[in-house]
């Protein structure tokens, strides 16, 4: 059986709120392993959330900055500071945009066996965690763009974010 593909911006699944994981078993482990495999096949990504493969469960796999997390049911407990930097997304390849996020976050989540974990991260990893948790809530980084445009990374052209947002409903937009 072929692995699911990463779904692209415009697919309504990216705007849905994911359901919590309540049972931790081998079927869940296979889902996590599938997300991990797809992330590793698309080597340019830091993380992949389950909704990006049309699986509406609160699961994300992060492999970024020398750290690896399988986050089940993640939630931001605390956040502080502000930082603005560029973000991109495997579901909207070829574009980047400036997004303001909390500089530091404390996140609770469960691992694949249901064990509770709490981590605090700053800077790029805090940004990654917030981006992935947003995916689980049907929110995309383009909903937070500060400059009003995305930049095409191949030719540096600007795309007004309001043009791209009009392509899909975003009832969850912050």
Q: Catalytic positions, please?
A: 132
Nearest Cα neighbor of 72 from 148, 26, 133 is: 133
Query: Where are any strands of DSSP class E within the chain?
Result: 47-49, 59-64, 67-80, 83-87, 95-101, 104-110, 116-122, 149-152, 158-160
Phi, then psi, of 41 in degrees rounded to 5: -70, -25
Query: Both tokens of residue 108?
Result: 């609770």
Phi, then psi, of 104 in degrees rounded to 5: -135, 135
**Distance between CA atoms of 26 and 63, rounded to whole angstroms?**
22
Q: Scanning the structure block, which residue is given the tokens 């574009």?
A: 95
């Amino acid at each position: 059986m072929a692995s699911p593909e990463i779904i692209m911006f415009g697919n309504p699944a990216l705007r849905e709120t994911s359901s919590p994981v309540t049972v931790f078993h081998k079927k869940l482990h296979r889902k996590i392993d599938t997300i991990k495999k797809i992330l590793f096949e698309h080597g340019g990504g830091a993380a992949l959330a389950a909704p990006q493969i049309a699986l509406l469960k609160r699961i994300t796999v992060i492999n970024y900055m020398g750290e690896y997390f399988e986050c089940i049911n993640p939630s931001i407990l605390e956040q502080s500071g502000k930082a603005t930097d560029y973000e991109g997304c495997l579901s909207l390849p070829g574009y980047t945009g400036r997004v303001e996020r909390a500089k530091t976050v404390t996140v609770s989540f469960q691992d694949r066996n249901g064990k509770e974990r709490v981590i605090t991260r700053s800077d790029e990893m805090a940004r990654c965690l917030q981006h992935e948790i947003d995916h689980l809530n049907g929110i995309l980084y383009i909903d937070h763009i500060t400059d009003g445009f995305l930049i095409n990374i191949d030719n540096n052209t600007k795309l007004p974010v309001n043009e791209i947002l009009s392509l899909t409903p975003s009832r969850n937009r912050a």
